[in-house]
């Protein structure tokens, strides 16, 4: 990691350590928006981290954003950082203007929006489901179907109707319904030209890969700490081989997830369109979620299963994020198709040359 | 908390021409029918002819000094070549152990004379070496070996028994881990490594057959075998440090991940057919994701070793994950491509599936049982 990025990550870590307290996390789970945390991040310039001054810097800024998302995952930061980073990055690349206020992004696979033209005006109708943090956001960047073409628009959330919903961690995942909402020209086609929905989906998957890696690392750290501190039968439970084996297996899963995230970070910041790597990484980190959270809850015993104890903030996020932007099954089928289409004997070449 | 580090290896793009060279060679060999891809090829695929060909191309002894017939190349270059060979299921068993650990041990701890004497033939792919570590009563607890090295007038005498020595019946030499001084308060002291000529008087080799009936392993008995002074590696008493020094290297290599890769290739080949269902396609993707992540971790370790870092904990993780993955390939394949497995199946898939299932128990036992390795990881995390 270069010096600038190390500095960025260290600063983020300090802010999250200080400001993303257990109280903030509990309040967020009960529906409260973490305004003070948001303010601190905005003031420190973190909400702009993915915005590149020149196109040449785009990859590196995106890499910075992904690195920060890993830290955000480690601290279970209850804010739509991934959506802001991704939307801001895309809009900047397209030469557009990032709207004021909180901006979120709708997963293209969740969008059932259509665009209709009447005279010189465009109108959006339909729904987009599972929009992260929509109820607290001012705008949503969303895919809208215009006859044969998929276009992207920025729409004020106040112009639509919201139906609240959450993921398993209590993070807002709201459905937005629009009925004939006018979309001004300058809020349309906000995606870089030539970029398709598949790419946005892949970028979304990359954000989840980083967030999951961070949260997995935290769950391992909590489990090791607990094993050292909790005593039963006159000694720390970490002295028992059964616990050591359980944690060692957890550590192996986390290691594989971290290595996968490292790979994706490198690929994304180089601007490589490497669906194979993102697919493999999303599979690997998603698989780790189940194994690691199960082992962590075992090690923590009954206490870890309570609302009061902090473990659940992380395991509930693992259970949620692994299914966002494609779970193991989805990406395994995709990866299988990619490899098979190249021929069985070329499979090794494909796997080993994915840089 | 100590963090497990798998820093991505640098400069791996530069290895592509080398990989392409190896692939071209393998394509040629396959066309000529000189080998058939097999699972566990680094253990079961013993081919002096193939080893010699690799030796001629400079693909054995790659990291060894040029003055001994090695090629002075990096660990990452050796990694690239060995990965390509194992992914193809090529028969590299004859020279594998000599190349991977015996020759590097000699370079690190042996004398000039020993290196000059033994390494050239190893690098040519003509000299085959076996491991003499485990004993009937000393497996995971390696320090408890009882094979004795006694001082004699003209050097030493070796008494004892080694077990599981793969390929010993076809090898020229064995490095024997033995006790050269009485057991004291430090159980790791008083241990040595000696080079034994397997054709020497007093050496008896008895086959140990796998449950498949295959003969790879052996029990080797030493009955008052003469060991000249100049066959001791390094100093007597330095044996424990010598065997543990190379562990990160041995445990993290592609042979801990790719033993059943040829079976995955056959799954992909099946999935190319129109009749293949989504289950096979998805299974290929799921397994490929493991290969993708595991080989990155293994390569990262090769890079770290080149930098002089000794990632013992990371290597243990790779071996644990990798060997469980090796078994998972077979256990997944049989569900999505159901057949009644047979070693004599008509199809390559059927034969490889049978090989993989029958060899699977060994994956997680050899090279340090996974349970022992998890203990190392636990220690690395500060739990013990």
Contacts of A256 in chain B (CB under 8 A): 293-294, 297, 321
**DSSP single-letter state for residue A158:** G
* Average pLDDT value for residue range A225-245: 97
Q: Do A227 and B290 touch (CB under 8 A)?
A: no
What is the model's pLDDT at position B339? 85
Tell me which of B1, B285, B329 to substitute to probe the interface with A (most A C-beta atoms closer than 10 Å): B285
In sequence order, the 6+-apart residues with CB closer than 8 A to the CB of B338 are none
Q: Which residue has the higher pLDDT, B245 or B180?
A: B180
**Whole-angstrom distance, CA of residue A183 vs CA of residue A156:** 9
What is the model's pLDDT at position A273? 85
Contacts of A276 in chain B (CB under 8 A): 292
First to last CA, chain A: 17
**Residue B269 forms contact with A (CB below 8 Å):** yes
**Whole-angstrom distance, CA of residue B5 vs CA of residue B304:** 10
Tell me which of B81, B381, B382 to substitute to probe the interface with A (most A C-beta atoms closer than 10 Å): B381
What is the model's pLDDT at position B379? 96
**Residue B11 forms contact with A (CB below 8 Å):** no
Q: Do A255 and B6 touch (CB under 8 A)?
A: yes
**Residue B83 forms contact with A (CB below 8 Å):** yes
B10 is catalytic: no
Provide DSSP, A193-244.
Answer: TT--HHHHHHHHHHHHHHHHHHHHHHHHHHHHHHHHH-EETTEEGGGSHHHH
The residue annotated as part of the active site, out of B250, B266, B314, B326, is B250
Whether pLDDT at B243 is above 80: yes
- pLDDT band at residue B2 using 50, 70 and 90 as cut-offs: very low
Kindly report, residue by residue over A119-130, the tens digit of the pLDDT.
Answer: 999 999 999 999
Contacts of B377 in chain A (CB under 8 A): 247-248, 251-252
What is the model's pLDDT at position A205? 98
Question: Which residue on chain B is closest to A238 by alpha carbon?
Answer: B383
Contacts of B23 in chain A (CB under 8 A): 349
**Residue B277 forms contact with A (CB below 8 Å):** no
Tokens 């590097």 sit at which residue?
B104
Instruction: Write the residue in B88, B271, B293 that is nearest to A256 by C-beta.
Output: B293
Instruction: Write the residue in A241, A340, A352 that is nearest to B272 by C-beta.
Output: A340
**Residue B378 forms contact with A (CB below 8 Å):** yes
Contacts of B271 in chain A (CB under 8 A): 336, 340, 344
Question: Which residue on chain B is closest to A263 by alpha carbon?
Answer: B8
- pLDDT band at residue A1 using 50, 70 and 90 as cut-offs: low
**Whole-angstrom distance, CA of residue B203 vs CA of residue B197:** 9
**Residue B349 forms contact with A (CB below 8 Å):** no
Instruction: Write the residue in B8, B288, B297 that is nearest to A351 by C-beta.
Output: B288
> What interhelical angle do B16-31 and B48-56 show, nearest 10?
140
Kindly report, residue by residue over B205-219, the tens digit of the pLDDT.
Answer: 999 999 999 999 999
**DSSP single-letter state for residue B298:** H
In sequence order, the 6+-apart residues with CB closer than 8 A to the CB of A287 are A253, A328, B289
Contacts of A336 in chain B (CB under 8 A): 271, 280-286, 288
Kindly report, residue by residue over B131-174, the tens digit of the pLDDT.
Answer: 999 999 999 999 999 999 999 999 999 999 999 999 999 999 99
Lowest-pLDDT choice from A208-212, B92-96, B180-184, B271-275: B271-275
**Quick one: what percent of chain B has pLDDT higher than 90?**
92
Instruction: Write the residue in A263, A328, A333 that is nearest to B278 by C-beta.
Output: A333
Whether pLDDT at A272 is above 90: no
Contacts of A259 in chain B (CB under 8 A): 6, 8, 293, 296-297, 300
* Average pLDDT value for residue range B178-182: 97
**Residue B325 forms contact with A (CB below 8 Å):** no
**Residue B8 forms contact with A (CB below 8 Å):** yes
Contacts of B1 in chain A (CB under 8 A): 221, 224-225
* Average pLDDT value for residue range A71-86: 98
Rg of the Cα atoms in chain A = 21
What is the model's pLDDT at position A355? 60
Interface of B with A in 169-198 (CB under 8 A): none
Q: How far apart, in Å, are the Cα atoms of A285 and each of A282, A327, B194, B278?
A: 5, 10, 46, 22
First to last CA, chain B: 13
Tell me phi and psi for residue B153, to 5 degrees.
-60, -45
B100-104, Cβ contacts within 8 angstroms, sequence gap of 24 or more: B100/B249, B100/B250, B100/B253, B101/B131, B101/B246, B101/B249, B101/B250, B102/B129, B102/B173, B102/B175, B103/B61, B103/B64, B103/B70, B104/B63, B104/B64, B104/B246, B104/B249
Q: Do B290 and A284 touch (CB under 8 A)?
A: yes
DSSP three-state, residue B287: helix
Exposure string over B36-74, b if 16+ CB within 10 A, otherwise e: ebbbbbbbbbbbeebbbbbbeeebbbbbbeeebbbbebb
Instruction: Write the residue in A243, A260, A336 that is nearest to B282 by C-beta.
Output: A336
**Residue B264 forms contact with A (CB below 8 Å):** yes
Contact B353, B263 (CB under 8 A): yes
Q: How far apart, in Å, are the Cα atoms of B236 and each of A98, B115, B195, B226, B227?
A: 72, 18, 12, 16, 13
Q: Do B293 and A224 touch (CB under 8 A)?
A: no
Nearest CA to CA, how far is A348 from chain B (Å)?
7
Size of interface A-B (CB pairs under 8 A): 163
Name B138's bridge partners: B135
Q: Do B383 and A224 touch (CB under 8 A)?
A: yes
- pLDDT band at residue B5 using 50, 70 and 90 as cut-offs: confident
Kindly report, residue by residue over B80-91, the tens digit of the pLDDT.
Answer: 999 999 999 999
Tokens encoding B254:
């592609």
Whether pLDDT at B7 is above 50: yes
**Quick one: what percent of chain A has pLDDT higher than 90?**
92
What is the model's pLDDT at position B1? 40
In sequence order, the 6+-apart residues with CB closer than 8 A to the CB of B70 are B61, B62, B63, B64, B103, B119, B123
What is the model's pLDDT at position B3? 67
Give the strand pairing for A121-132 and A173-183.
antiparallel
Contact B367, B319 (CB under 8 A): yes
Q: Do A263 and B8 touch (CB under 8 A)?
A: yes
Q: Do A348 and B281 touch (CB under 8 A)?
A: no
- The ipTM assigned to this model is 0.95
DSSP three-state, residue B299: helix
**Residue B13 forms contact with A (CB below 8 Å):** yes
Kindly report, residue by residue over B299-347, the tens digit of the pLDDT.
Answer: 999 999 999 988 999 999 999 999 999 999 999 999 999 888 999 999 9
Whether pLDDT at A322 is above 50: yes
Nearest CA to CA, how far is A21 from chain B (Å)?
21
Question: Which residue on chain B is closest to A331 by alpha carbon?
Answer: B285
**Mean of the per-residue pLDDT values for chain A?**
96
**Whole-angstrom distance, CA of residue A209 vs CA of residue A189:** 27
Nearest CA to CA, how far is B267 from chain A (Å)?
8
Tokens 């870890």 sit at which residue?
A304
**Residue B140 forms contact with A (CB below 8 Å):** no
Instruction: Write the residue in B12, B23, B281 that is nearest to A340 by C-beta.
Output: B281
Nearest CA to CA, how far is A337 from chain B (Å)?
6
Nearest CA to CA, how far is A279 from chain B (Å)?
8
**Whole-angstrom distance, CA of residue A79 vs CA of residue A98:** 18
Q: Do A329 and B282 touch (CB under 8 A)?
A: yes
- pLDDT band at residue A114 using 50, 70 and 90 as cut-offs: very high
What is the model's pLDDT at position A271? 87
Tell me phi and psi for residue A59, to 5 degrees.
-60, -45
Tell me which of A71, A216, A226, A248 to substitute to probe the interface with B (most B C-beta atoms closer than 10 Å): A248
**Whole-angstrom distance, CA of residue A179 vs CA of residue A161:** 9
């Amino acid at each position: 990691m270069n010096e600038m990025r190390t500095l960025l990550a260290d600063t983020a870590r300090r802010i999250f350590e200080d400001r993303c307290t257990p109280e903030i996390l509990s309040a967020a789970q009960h529906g409260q928006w973490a305004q003070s945390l948001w303010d601190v991040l905005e003031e420190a310039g973190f909400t702009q981290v993915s915005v590149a001054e020149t196109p040449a810097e785009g990859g590196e800024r995106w890499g910075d954003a992904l690195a920060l998302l890993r830290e955000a995952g480690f601290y279970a930061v209850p804010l739509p950082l991934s959506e802001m980073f991704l939307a801001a990055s895309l809009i900047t690349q397209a030469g557009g203007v990032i709207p004021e206020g909180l901006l979120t992004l709708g997963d293209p696979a969740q969008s059932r929006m259509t665009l209709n033209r009447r005279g010189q005006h465009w109108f959006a109708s339909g729904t987009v489901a599972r929009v992260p943090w929509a109820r607290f956001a001012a705008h949503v960047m969303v895919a809208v179907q215009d006859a044969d073409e998929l276009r992207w628009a920025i729409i004020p959330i106040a112009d639509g109707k919201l139906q609240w919903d959450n993921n398993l961690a209590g993070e807002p995942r709201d459905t937005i319904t629009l009925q004939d909402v006018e979309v001004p020209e300058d809020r349309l086609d906000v995606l870089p030209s030539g970029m398709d929905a598949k790419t946005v989906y892949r970028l979304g998957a990359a954000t989840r890969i980083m967030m999951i890696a961070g949260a997995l690392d935290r769950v391992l750290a909590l489990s090791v700490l607990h094993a050292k501190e909790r005593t039963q039968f006159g000694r720390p439970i970490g002295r028992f081989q059964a616990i050591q084996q359980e944690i060692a297996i957890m550590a192996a899963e986390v290691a594989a997830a971290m290595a996968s995230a490292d790979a994706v970070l490198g690929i994304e910041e180089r601007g490589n369109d490497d669906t194979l790597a993102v697919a493999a990484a999303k599979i690997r980190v998603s698989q780790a979620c189940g194994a690691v959270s199960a082992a962590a809850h075992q090690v923590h015993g009954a206490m870890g299963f309570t609302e009061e104890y902090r473990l659940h903030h992380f395991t509930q996020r693992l259970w949620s994020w692994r299914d966002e932007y494609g779970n193991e099954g989805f990406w395994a089928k995709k990866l299988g198709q990619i490899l098979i289409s190249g021929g069985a004997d070329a499979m090794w070449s494909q796997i080993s040359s994915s840089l | 908390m100590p963090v497990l580090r798998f820093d991505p290896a640098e400069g791996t793009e530069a290895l592509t021409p080398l990989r392409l060279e190896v692939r071209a060679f393998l394509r040629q060999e396959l066309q000529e029918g000189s080998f058939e891809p097999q699972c566990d090829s680094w253990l079961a695929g013993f081919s002096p002819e193939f080893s010699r060909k690799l030796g001629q191309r400079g693909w054995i002894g790659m990291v060894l000094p040029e003055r001994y017939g090695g090629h002075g190349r990096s660990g990452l270059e050796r990694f690239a070549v060995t990965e390509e060979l194992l992914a193809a299921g090529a028969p590299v068993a004859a020279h594998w152990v000599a190349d991977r650990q015996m020759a590097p041990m000699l370079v690190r701890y042996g004398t000039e004379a020993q290196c000059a004497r033994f390494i050239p033939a190893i690098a040519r792919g003509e000299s085959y070496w076996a491991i003499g570590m485990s004993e009937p009563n000393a497996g995971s607890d390696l320090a408890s070996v009882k094979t004795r090295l006694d001082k004699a007038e003209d050097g030493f005498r070796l008494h004892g028994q080694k077990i599981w020595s793969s390929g010993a019946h076809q090898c020229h030499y064995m490095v024997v881990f033995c006790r050269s001084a009485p057991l004291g308060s430090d159980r790791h002291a008083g241990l040595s490594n000696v080079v034994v000529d397997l054709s020497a008087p007093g050496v008896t080799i008895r086959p140990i057959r796998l449950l498949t009936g295959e003969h790879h392993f052996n029990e080797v008995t030493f009955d008052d075998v003469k060991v000249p002074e100049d066959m001791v590696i390094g100093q007597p008493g330095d044996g424990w440090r010598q065997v543990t020094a190379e562990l990160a290297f041995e445990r993290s290599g592609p042979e801990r991940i790719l033993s059943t890769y040829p079976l995955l290739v056959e799954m992909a080949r099946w999935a190319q057919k129109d009749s293949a269902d989504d289950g096979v396609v998805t299974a290929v993707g799921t397994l490929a994701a493991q290969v993708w992540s595991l080989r990155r971790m293994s390569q990262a370790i090769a890079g770290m070793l080149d930098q002089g870092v000794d990632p013992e904990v990371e290597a243990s993780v790779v071996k644990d994950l990798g060997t469980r993955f090796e078994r998972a390939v077979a256990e997944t394949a049989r569900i999505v491509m159901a057949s009644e497995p047979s070693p004599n199946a008509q199809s390559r898939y059927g034969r490889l599936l049978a090989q993989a299932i029958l060899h699977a128990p060994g994956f997680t036992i050899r090279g340090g049982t996974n349970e022992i390795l998890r203990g190392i990881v636990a220690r690395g995390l500060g739990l013990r």
